[in-house]
Amino acid sequence: MKIAVVQMDCIPGDVTANLDKIRGWIYQSAPVDLIVFPEMVDTGYVMPGEDFGRSHPAFEEKVDIIARAARERKMQVIAGLSEQLDDQVCNVAVLVDKSGDLMAKYRKIHLYAPSGEGAFSAGNELTTFPTGGYTAGLMICYDTRFPEMARSLALAGAEIIIVPTAWPFPRVEHWQLLSRARAIENQCYVITANRVGKDGDAVFCGNSRVIDPHGVVISSASEDREEIIYSDISREKLDFIRNRMPVFEHRRPDIYLQDALFASEKD
């Protein structure tokens, strides 16, 4: 399975210009099965109440613009978008298939309040879907800090975890470590598409990457440039790593899920 990851900047609030950039990257890409974009690439990482672009295309129109390009290039597209629901705004990631159909939508579960994401409406459901003979799951940015979520996706069958992101520079080391940790502990591929550039005071750290189930970074981008990186996903490597070290067979959920994970909630 051939993967492309787009690392790009956005113009805050200019949805039309950002959608044009997304289309441009799709047409520029080499032929792949799946192309992945960062978090909130339609509006930029701006919060409700700021220049959020509400006068720009509706969510369905934004998806349709991406879908037409996906259909013409015959590739699946994952992109982070904003979705207006009445007086609520959701931070979402969508999967559009090669036919241009919306096949999956994930609403970000863990919202990062210090950046203003408390103004968003949080999601409540995990999302997995078939792609290229694999099962994949979606997380968005801050979700990466919650190992329970990645493990839940893996237990639901995910062999690839895809993470559109807008991660800033002050915590770049965390980003590099956490993304590799999620791959190692769940023995799955992790694909991260991060922003570059600046929105307000936030300067994004790039470092988009594809990580194999052994935690090896097999493709990576710079920290400050717009670019596209490519990688191949290998069923043979995935199965070899999981068979050689069958950690899922050795789990003891009868102990730690009941007695440790929820101890604070019992108190």
Q: Please give the full DSSP string across 176-187, using - where no structure is assigned.
A: HHHHHHHHHHHT
Return the residue matching tokens 């996706």. Answer: 153
Residue 255 has pLDDT above 90, yes or no: no
Cβ–Cβ < 8 Å for 122, 109 = yes
Q: Which two tokens stand for residue 35?
A: 């192309």
Confidence of residue 86 (pLDDT cuts 50, 70, 90): confident
Band of residue 142 on the pLDDT scale cut at 50, 70, 90: very high
How many domains are there within the chain?
A: 1
Percentage, residues of the chain above pLDDT 90: 79
- Give the number of other CB atoms < 10 A from CB of residue 174: 13
Confidence class of residue 258 from pLDDT cuts 50, 70 and 90? low
**Rounded-to-integer distance, Cα 35 and Cα 95, Å:** 10
Active site positions, annotated? 39, 108, 141
Domain containing residue 229: 2-266
pLDDT of 73: 98
Residue 175, domain CATH = 3.60.110.10
CA distance 122 to 111: 7
Largest Cα–Cα separation, the chain:
55
Q: How many CB atoms lie within 10 A of CB 210?
A: 27
Percentage with pLDDT > 70 across the chain: 91
Report the pLDDT value the prediction gives residue 48, as an integer from 0 to 100: 62
